[in-house]
Amino acid sequence: MSGLSRRHFLVLAAVSGGGLAVGVAGRPAAARAGAANRLAPNPFVRVAADGTVTVVVKHLEMGQGVDTGLPVIVAEELCVPWSVVRVRQAPADAARYANLAFGKVQGTGGSTAMANSWRQLRLAAAAAREMLCQAGALRLGVPRAAVTARDGAVTHAATGRTLAYGQLVAAAAELPVPQDPPLKDPADFTLIGKEGAVGRSDSRVKSDGSAIFGLDIALPGLLTAVVARPPAFGAVLAHLDDRRAQSLPGVQAVFPIPSGVAVVADDTWSALAGRDALVLDWRDGPPAAGLSAADLSTGAIRDRFQALLAQPGRPARRDGDAEAALATAARRLTAVYEVPYLAHAPMEPLTCTVRLSSGRCEIWTGCQSQTADQAAAARAAGLAPTQVEINTLFAGGSFGRRANPTSDYVVEAVEIAKRADGPVRVMWTREDDIRGGYYRPFFLHGLEAGLDGAGRPVAWRHRLVGQSILAGTSRAATVKDGIDHTSVEGAADLPYAVPNLTVELHSPALPVPVLWWRSVGHSHTAFATECFLDELAAAAGADPVQFRRALLGDAHPRHRAVLDLAADKAGWGMPLPAGRGRGVAVHASFHSVVAEIAEVTVAADGGFTVDRVVCAVDCGLAVTPGIVRAQMEGGIVFGLSAALAGELTLDGGRVAQSNFHDYPVLRLSRMPDIEVHIVPSAAAPTGVGEPGVPPIAPAVANALFAATGRRVRRLPLGDRIQPI
């Protein structure tokens, strides 16, 4: 404790019993670093001599609002006004910036950013606050308990004497870092949970064009590269003629890499022109998983999956004896639901810039998986991970695409940089990504249920067929007993009280690359389970909302709360004109629960519109209510785009779609009115980035049934309803 006088030490000792737990064995290096002009007690908080506070954010800002939500936690706990807060992206450093939900891995995903950072950031900010208050008390010559923190200053309550944080950072940096500082009473929150208390930290830069995305990086001598990739899954390059491409102005080099043929040029236009000039002969590779390219067509895959539906799968859940209960049920219902392959299609296609020098690899990209990408880049460059520096930029969406197990676009950029004469920016066009990327798996769901004489479900059997996302990846060890939990989430944990329930899974291997897609397995299990539950309600002659409430019982109060709130706000039960209908769905994912009610209008020719969506969400404490609403709205739009029009089809291992003209997103003309209502909660925050997606497809499908009496069991729905 060098620099601390005997008098100040005695003051510290006197006040430590008042709630400040501090050690005297020395200060962490983070607190000592830059002590002359800033306080840096931990990896997340920096208080400068000018009073500004920099929050180091360990998660990727890809539109979901983490660069606002996480700093708000710090601002609240540190007691500073929002105007002094600055945001900085964390470097790739899993030792300091690991996602606590992922173990020792730094990355963003699974709607974990707020949930895993909530207490961590509160403690980090509280430690800084206590050190500043202690420094202020020492400066004023009063006990710690006599001062309070407010608006970026320490005030002696009795005299009103005030010291700004900036005046105290040097002295505070000399103090030990509290290991368990007291946290602010939520009753005193002025920012967290308050409507309109803060604006998004990235709004201005994203509005005036100064935000830095992958395409905005400019380095001396920067080259641009694109890659000609195999047109079909498993295809291999048999012949390359690059003579015409090499002769084009601006083209610097053409060479094969593991993922295809790279064209390196002075600029994007020259690189694309060079790629178009290549003469390539691609041949089918050896059969993968016993399948030839001809087997990789949508119809052939569907036939194979349908055959598996007739066979028992691996059990993911087994309560009671569903088979016996089905055999004695008063009424049996069966249905098959189908969902297609889907692309992520973020607005910003993949871009990665790499600069290699002796013993160093620098990367600029919207990085979602820093630890995995750093390790993969190091392997490709022949370096240690510590020699790879990742500069994480804004990302224009991801929906899971940037967090892939092979780090494909990062590794590709490193492979090209190894042979390029200078730093290189590798660009994927939207066509590249839609035709050669990763996809939400195609799934079939076979369901059968039995009702007793009173219309109560006594049996439920759910059989799923679809590719495993985790098999063959670094997370394959999490596949227990052949069950990929991402395939059955939302099905194996069905909340409804059915005494005899079985969930089974088939995970056929196919050489089609699949990946988590916004809300992962919930994106398709909710469609099957909530639509089929609606079928049971209709068969029982029951109101769909009341049917769900009865089956949820007292065991799932959060489900019932969002269901009741959505039903109330939507006017459930109020009559609608002919041709209009309401549908409901409620689903839990990422520790949040969402209910959505959709209203549709169906014309005489079957054409329909989705007019209104009412959403109720329980996500624990809504740290920034405006961002929670925006994420629910965004999830509904994303899910509705897929429900109405999202579909990738395969023909001979080739993806038929290529861009938004044949893989459309929701247009303004089809945009419904959306209302979002947040259930008040004092619980710790849970996920909001993904939970808005799963309920929208079943809510719309159920609304179409309510309007027409016809069921739809296959996505996408298209622009008109057709009988099954």
**Pair 656, 723: CB distance under 8 Å:** no
Write b or e for each residue in 370-386: b if 16 or more Cβ atoms lie within 10 A of its Cβ, otherwise e.
bbbbbbbbbebbebebe
Map out the domains of the chain with their CATH numbers.
Answer: 6-206 (3.30.365.10), 214-285+364-373+402-427 (3.90.1170.50), 298-342+439-708 (3.30.365.10)
Percent of the chain with pLDDT over 70: 94
Cα distances from 227 to residues 253, 369, 392, 409, 537, in angstroms, run 12, 22, 23, 10, 52
How far is Cα 37 from Cα 40, in angstroms, rounded to an integer? Answer: 10
Neighbours of 719 (CB within 10 A): 12
Residue whose entry in the numeric block shows the structure tokens 């201005």:
204
pLDDT at residue number 294: 77
Residue whose entry in the numeric block shows the structure tokens 């098959």:
336
How far is Cα 233 from Cα 230, in angstroms, rounded to an integer? Answer: 7
**Confidence band for 43, pLDDT divided at 50, 70 and 90:** very high
pLDDT at residue number 290: 76
pLDDT at residue number 291: 81
Q: Is the pLDDT of residue 15 over 60?
A: no
DSSP 197: S
Q: Is the pLDDT of residue 30 over 70?
A: no
Q: How many CA atoms lie within 13 A of 220 on its CB side?
A: 0
Reduced to 3 DSSP states, what percent helix, strand and coil does the chain have, rounded to the nearest 5?
35, 25, 40
pLDDT at residue number 127: 98
**Confidence band for 7, pLDDT divided at 50, 70 and 90:** very low
Please, is 95 exposed, middle or buried when counting C-beta atoms within 10 Å of its C-beta (0-12, 13-18, 19+)? exposed
Q: Is the pLDDT of residue 19 over 70?
A: no
Please write the tens of the pLDDT for every residue from 493-547. 999 999 999 999 999 999 999 999 999 999 999 999 999 999 999 999 999 999 9
Percent of the chain with pLDDT over 90: 91
**Confidence band for 292, pLDDT divided at 50, 70 and 90:** confident
Q: Is the pLDDT of residue 23 over 60?
A: no
**Confidence band for 26, pLDDT divided at 50, 70 and 90:** very low
Cα distances from 181 to residues 25, 170, 192, 437, in angstroms, run 17, 20, 19, 46
pLDDT at residue number 36: 58
Please write the tens of the pLDDT for every residue from 401-441. 999 999 999 999 999 999 999 999 999 999 999 999 999 99
**Pair 333, 433: CB distance under 8 Å:** no
The mean pLDDT of 275-286, rounded to a whole number, is: 94
Residue 314, strand partner residues: 505
**Confidence band for 65, pLDDT divided at 50, 70 and 90:** very high
pLDDT at residue number 473: 75
Instruction: Calculate the average pLDDT of the chain.
Output: 93
How far is Cα 251 from Cα 271, in angstroms, rounded to an integer? Answer: 6
**Pair 719, 603: CB distance under 8 Å:** no
How far is Cα 15 from Cα 77, in angstroms, rounded to an integer? Answer: 21
Q: What is the pTM of this model?
A: 0.93
**Confidence band for 293, pLDDT divided at 50, 70 and 90:** confident
For residue 366, the Cα-to-chain-centroid distance in whole angstroms is: 14
pLDDT at residue number 721: 84
How far is Cα 134 from Cα 39, in angstroms, rounded to an integer? Answer: 13
Q: Is 512 helix (H, G, I), strand (E, B) or coil?
A: coil
Q: Is 227 helix (H, G, I), strand (E, B) or coil?
A: strand
The amino acid present at 436, given as its one-letter code, is G
CA dihedral 642, 643, 644, 646 (to 10 degrees): 30
